[in-house]
Structure 1
Amino acid sequence: MSSTVIDQPRTGARKPPSRAAQRSNREAPDRARRRKSPRQRMSWLGYAVLVIGVLGSIAPLYWMFVVGSNTSAAVSQFPPTFLPGGNFVDNAAYAQTRVPFARSILNSAIVAVSVAVLQVFFCSLAGFAFAKLRFRGRNALLVTVIATMAIPAQLGIVPLYMIMVNLGWVNTLQALIVPGAVSAFGVFWMRQVVMGSIPDELVEAAKIDGCGTFRTYWSVVLPNIRGSAAVFGLFAAMGAWNDFLWPLIILNSPDMFTSQVAIQQLRTAYSIDYSVTMTASVIATLPLLLLFLAAGKQLVAGIMEGAVKG
């Protein structure tokens, strides 16, 4: 009888890798890390630039607080002090005796809030009309609105003052609120936002459901652009709060001064008390800082919304 021999599987130990292979395996991660290092260096460089930018932005505010919390003698000494003092409350009280500064803060708040609300309403309404409504002369009117941005605002001060005189609005807050109720830039910006955020099909669907033009704007368009509208309103309020030239011309009573005009009135004919002036400047800046802190997320969301959809 013949016997059949069956080959057994070879189960011997695997041959260990050579030294060259081991060295290659160790060098592979090193090469990967070296390839990533330029990108990592750029990332750290970007963070360093951001930190420098933040410090550069905070430094003037900190220096304003340092000057405002010290006495005039401490401000004038050399070398100057870089630490806050304990005279901030006294300086604020002295500023209140010179001008009704608390009332000026209230006046600025009334003007800023009113201008922001009116600009958001009228600019978004006009932007909706230019973006989604079809009417004769629309493009020519839009070009005319945009062209007005090339005209310096200072050229309109004299005729605007004459209008305020005829209306009897000199030395009133209406003279600050009504001229700032709408802006050419706001109309153009809100038009771009509506064009990028609201599809034509949505407007047509609202019309089919029986919505009129204003109802379509109020119930369909405005809720969908609220992020960008909030950002625009924030910048409009900031511009109205910081406005100086027109309030200085149209207001002549200390009780009607805005904060910027009140700060200017703290100077005398021959000298400037920098500590008191900087104290008033810090107080006038605080509402805007608090507004930015409170609306920070909404601000970023609105900017990103405009960047993505616009």
Structure 2
Amino acid sequence: MSSVPVVAQTAGPGAAKAAQRRGGASRPGSSSRRRGGGDGSAALRPGPITYALLGLAVLVGLAPLYYTLVIGSSDPTSIAQSPLPQLIPDGSLLDQINAVITSTAFSFWKAFANSVIISTVCAIATVLFSTMAGFSFAKLRFRGRRGLLLFVVATMAVPTQLGVVPLYIVMTDLGWIGSLKAVIVPALVTAFGVFWMTQYLSEALPYELIEAARVDGASMLRTFWSIAMPAARPAAAMLALFTFVSQWTNFFWPSIVLNQNNPTLPLAVRLLQANYFVDYSLVMAGVFLVTLPLLILFFLAGRHLVAGIMAGAVKG
């Protein structure tokens, strides 16, 4: 990585121009080395084995989705007779999807709205609060900072199940059982999010920018919002996506505090199972409906997230 950006940030215009001239003089040699012509060695490029392994990984990743579509397109009798009733999904899947949406066991659109509300609010809140905490731990100096950060990280080793009973008692005392607040409030900030943003900001945000903002008269809140938040954008995007997916697929805690009149989508899929008979094709169609929004989200945002992470890594 060239030293020109660093000089431009820490020195005057003359030094920056000199660094640019030095960088320009060394650019041909460096480019030839990148092409493999400087020392006679060939540049490293992915070969057929690499592409074959990547293709195999893609097939393994798509296998569960394929099996979901196949089972969702089959009738219960053929499912009972063979683990793979057919090779290609057919139009029966659309009928099963329509049966899930129009099911009388629950309101599909209400469950969908609940999942969207919980996942979106938790993702936004986790990014905001975790970035605030990460900025404080990474760039501010106060007594007990290291001990407090160590305590936050240590809570990641505590199993979630240990806190279920006391948390349920708190939700009961607050009268939040059956309400979305019982799912949203405990997930507003996570220890993983705090640790993730602390590690990122400690490398991506130089002290000079914070000091320059304070010299210009910016308050700590303005410094955080105008300096820290833009610098943390790549890591914040990944944290938001991770939080959204984890809350969208969360089943354990919502199954405890929510009921069948106010479910999320994973809970709604469970309601598709009858007491004495399970229509696996109907259940798999419901699973596909739960997974489809996540597939669309990754398809739309995946490239931008990877580009943001790569840009942040280069800047760091």
TM over 0.5: yes
Structure 1 CA distance, aligned partners of 2:277 and 2:311? 48
Structure 1 CA distance, aligned partners of 2:85 and 2:143? 65
Structure 2 CA distance, aligned partners of 1:309 and 1:248? 43
Conserved 8 A contact 1:193-1:309 = no
Which residue of 127, 130, 133 corresponds with 1:123? Answer: 130
Q: Give 1:72 shift.
A: 2.0
Q: Give 1:224 shift.
A: 1.7
Conserved 8 A contact 2:74-2:85 = no
Q: Which residue identity does 2:75 align to in structure 1?
A: T
Partner of 1:89: 94
Q: Which residue identity does 1:83 align to in structure 2?
A: I
Conserved 8 A contact 2:71-2:85 = no
Which residue of 299, 302, 305 corresponds with 2:308? Answer: 302
Q: What secondary structure is seen at the aligned counterpart in 2 of 1:171? A: coil
Q: Mean Cα displacement is larger for which, 274-283 or 66-75?
A: 66-75
CA-based RMSD: 2.0
Q: Does 1:55 align with 2:59?
A: yes
Q: Which residue identity does 1:247 align to in structure 2?
A: P
Q: How does 1:202-281 map to 2 (within 5 A)?
A: 202-252=209-259, 254-281=260-287
Structure 2 CA distance, aligned partners of 1:207 and 1:303? 28
Q: Give 1:152 shift.
A: 0.3
Q: Give 1:94 shift.
A: 2.7
Q: Give 1:88 shift.
A: 2.1
Q: Which residue identity does 1:133 align to in structure 2?
A: L
Conserved 8 A contact 1:263-1:277 = yes
Structure 1 CA distance, aligned partners of 2:49 and 2:61? 18
Conserved 8 A contact 1:105-1:259 = yes
Q: Give 1:105 shift.
A: 1.5
Q: How does 1:42-191 map to 2 (within 5 A)?
A: 43-78=47-82, 80-95=85-100, 96-191=103-198
Q: What secondary structure is seen at the aligned counterpart in 2 of 1:255? A: coil
Conserved 8 A contact 2:250-2:266 = yes
Structure 1 CA distance, aligned partners of 2:288 and 2:192? 29
CA distance 1:288–1:193, shift in 2 (3 Å): same
Partner of 2:32: none
- Structure 2, unaligned runs of 5 or more: 1-40
Q: Which residue identity does 1:101 align to in structure 2?
A: F
Q: Give 1:86 shift.
A: 1.8
- % identical aligned pairs: 45
Structure 1 CA distance, aligned partners of 2:298 and 2:54? 19
- Structure 1, unaligned runs of 5 or more: 1-35
Count of residues in Structure 1 that have an aligned counterpart in Structure 2:
273
Partner of 1:5: none
Partner of 2:33: none
Structure 1 CA distance, aligned partners of 2:89 and 2:62? 15
The runs of 4+ residues in structure 1 deviating greater than 6 Å are none
Structure with the bigger RCO (C-alpha within 8 Å, sep 6+) is: 1
Q: Which residue identity does 2:247 align to in structure 1?
A: A
Q: Which residue identity does 1:150 align to in structure 2?
A: A
Q: What secondary structure is seen at the aligned counterpart in 1 of 2:255? A: helix
Q: Which residue identity does 2:88 align to in structure 1?
A: L
Structure 2 CA distance, aligned partners of 1:65 and 1:102? 21
Offset from partner CA, 1:250-277 (integer Å, 9 cap, x none): 001x331011111112112223211000
Conserved 8 A contact 2:73-2:89 = yes
Question: Under a length normalisation based on structure 1, what TM-score does the superposition of the two structures give?
Answer: 0.83
Which residue of 253, 278, 299 corresponds with 1:293? Answer: 299
Q: Give 1:99 shift.
A: 2.1
